[in-house]
Amino acid sequence: MLPLEAIRIERFAVSWGLWLVTMAAWAAACIWVERDARQTFGRSLPWRFLFVTVGAGLLLGTCLFGTTPLPLFVGLVVCATAAYVLIRDSFVSVDRRLVPFVVVGEAISRAIRKAGLEASLQRLSGRGGVASQVSFGGPPVTLLKQDGSVSAGAGGHEQSQAAVMAQRILGDAVARRATEMHLEAKAGQEVLARYRIDGMLHTMHLLPPAAGAAILSGLKALAGIDTAGQRRPQDGAFMVVADGRRFDVRFASQPAGGGEKLVLQLLDSQRITVTGALAGLGMRESVVESLRGIIQQGRGVLIVSGPAGSGRTTTAYAALREIDVLTRSIVTIEDSIPCRLDNVSQTAVNRATDLTGAKILRSALRHDPDVILVDELKDKEPADIALQAAVTGHFVIATLTSADAATAVSRLIDIGIDATLIQSAVTAVLAQRLVRLLCPKCKEAYRPPEDMVRRLGLPPDKVPVLYKEVGCRSCHGTGFRGRTGVYELLEVDADIRTLLGGRPSADAIYRMARTKGMRTFRQSALVKACEGVTSISEAERATQ
């Protein structure tokens, strides 16, 4: 009897031990699903209700039948968790999925191709064309060639299929607010599609070989370049109309390890027009007033600087809109024209015909303009001509790639511009960067710890609450939606001009500007974080 009793006790202990482990696993799953569902969908229902119901069923079952329903409960929890994971993965980008579909998909596709079953499976499933292999969201789009004519996708079945696929992926990119599309052919012939949204790249699709090839071919045909050429870089352009907006698309391809890589920039000319006022760019009121005063002087050079993709062109156009185009003669010299302005003479650089920025600028000066916009001071010759024009009474707005305001001035010295000319011509440097805006639907308030407040140098009594990113379906799980600018305005006064005479370093210019009251990128970004516009982590990332 004793051994039998011991066996019963052991079985009892094992059964209820497994019950306790199962309950702990169920509780952990409930907590994880609660948090993850809020980030992915913006709310935890109905998933929280489902998992709580399953647990309540187990408790009731153990009260009535002991541990007998335990296997059933384990099966229900596993099935519910698997269903949740599969559904949540369908709402997020590829790089945020829990199940590595990219790896699994590549392995399955390769196995099917090696077995020679790809065509047979398409016939059995009734999917004879590539257009039905991938599902994209987004509005219907109209494709226009570079000359503005509508692309009908004529020329045979394969070309029309390619046009359909190109339309679908472009509509998907527009719906997701992408500013760039990166399409890269992989070694297994699949095509990886990534979108740049709010300045960050997100992996969105892994396209099967046939669909990926159709998309690459369709986009290259639209851009008017050789569809078969993969061994040399090619550039092109076309236009897309979606939701009543027109996007100018700049196209660039280059050879890559798996075949080739395509990068498409989607330029929304309407966005530049709508946000084309200084007050709508995220500047604080004191910066707006100072800029308006500089613009109304009507002489000198205003340099708009910042890293690549920081919105310099939008700010330069906003500055132009502060000028009365009916009483002032305005000309622009640009690499490409993002949007047309009424009563403004706009000319694009064309190096293929030897129409360089310096030649256009010399020609424009013979027409006696009041205001000149020069897109990107890269070389000594056009920069020298632009600054000389400012000295002779013209007002020049010039864009320049640099890390900050102080570096912009030192860059002019580095490309060979005489310091005396900089002293005489440059009146101000406006440097800018972009920070992502917190998604209004899911941002979460919290009280910052005292050590964070001290580290950031924030006044403790004026920071009762901050906000952090969470993530929901509206923002594709990133926690951010949209961007705004943070700015440094360096006004070149007598002290700065004296300093420039000694060919100072960027650090020396920066220190002098700080003594003059210039607010830095970090300070501007932290102010926006305290206002609930962005998060502390984003402010630090964008201004490091």
Q: Is residue 478 helix, strand or coil?
A: coil
- Give residues with Cβ within 8 angstroms of 543, minimum separation 6: 433, 435, 486, 520, 521, 522, 525
What pLDDT sits at residue 300?
Answer: 92
Same domain? For 363 and 445 the reply is: yes
Structural domain includes residue 110: no
Contact 44, 88 (CB under 8 A): no
- What CATH number is given to the structural domain containing 221? 3.30.450.90
In a domain, 6, yes or no: yes
One domain for residues 165 and 195: yes
Residues 338 and 480 in one domain: yes
Q: Report pTM.
A: 0.74
Q: Is the peptide bond before 69 cis (omega within 30 degrees of 0)?
A: no
Q: What is the pLDDT of residue 541?
A: 92
Q: Which of 388, 426, 399 is nearest to 509 (CA)?
A: 426
Residue 285 placed within a domain: yes
CATH number of the domain at 393, please: 3.40.50.300
The answer to whether residue 98 is domain-embedded is no
Looking at the fold, whether 518 and 400 belong to one and the same domain comes out as yes
Same domain, yes or no, for 290 and 417?
yes
Q: Are residues 256 and 280 in the same domain?
A: no
**What whole-number distance in Å separates Cα of residue 474 and Cα of residue 483?**
15
Give yes or no for a contact between 534 and 436, defined as CB atoms under 8 angstroms apart.
yes
Tell the residue number behind the tokens 């920069």, with chain if given: 383
Question: What secondary structure does DSSP assign to 18-52, as a single string?
Answer: HHHHHHHHHHHHHHHHHHHHHHHHSS-TTHHHHHH
Look at the chain and report how many structural domains it folds into.
3
Distance between start and end Cα atoms, the chain: 75
Instruction: Tell me, yes or no, whether 347 and 263 share the same domain.
Output: no
Residue 345 tokens read as 């003479």
Of 237, 268, 299, the last residue of a domain is 268
CA 36/CA 42 separation, integer angstroms: 9
Q: Evaluate whether residue 414 is within a structural domain.
A: yes
Token output for 495: 């002290």
Q: Rounded distance, CA 188 to CA 207, Å? A: 11
Instruction: Decide if 109 is inside a domain.
Output: no
Residues in contact with 259: Cβ distance below 8 Å, sequence separation at least 6, in sequence order: 185, 189, 230
Tell me the C-alpha distance between 283 and 291, whole Å. 10
Of 121, 259, 111, the closest CA to residue 191 belongs to 259
Say if residue 369 is preceded by a cis peptide, omega within 30 of 0.
no
**Enclosing domain of residue 29:** 2-91
Instruction: List per-block mean pLDDT (blocks of 10 residues) for the chain, which spans 544 residues.
Output: 55 68 78 75 68 73 69 76 74 61 49 51 42 62 72 50 82 89 82 90 84 83 74 82 83 80 84 66 90 90 92 90 89 84 86 83 90 89 91 92 91 89 93 94 88 83 84 82 93 91 87 91 92 93 89
The residue whose two tokens read 């939606």 is 481
Do 441 and 513 lie in one domain? The reply is yes
If asked whether residues 302 and 185 sit together in one domain, one would say no
Token pair of 386 as six digits: 């632009």
- Do 173 and 197 share a domain, yes or no? yes
β 371-374/395-401 pair status: parallel
- Beta strands (DSSP E) in 360-404 are 371-374, 395-401
Write down the pLDDT at residue 404. 92
Instruction: State whether 229 and 281 are in the same domain.
Output: no
Same-domain status, 150 and 192: yes
Task: Provide the pLDDT for residue 303.
Answer: 95
Phi, psi of 164 (to 5 degrees): -60, -45
Six token digits for residue 42: 């913006």
Judge contact between 200 and 253, C-beta under 8 A.
no
Please, are residues 141 and 167 in contact by the beta-carbon 8 Å criterion? yes
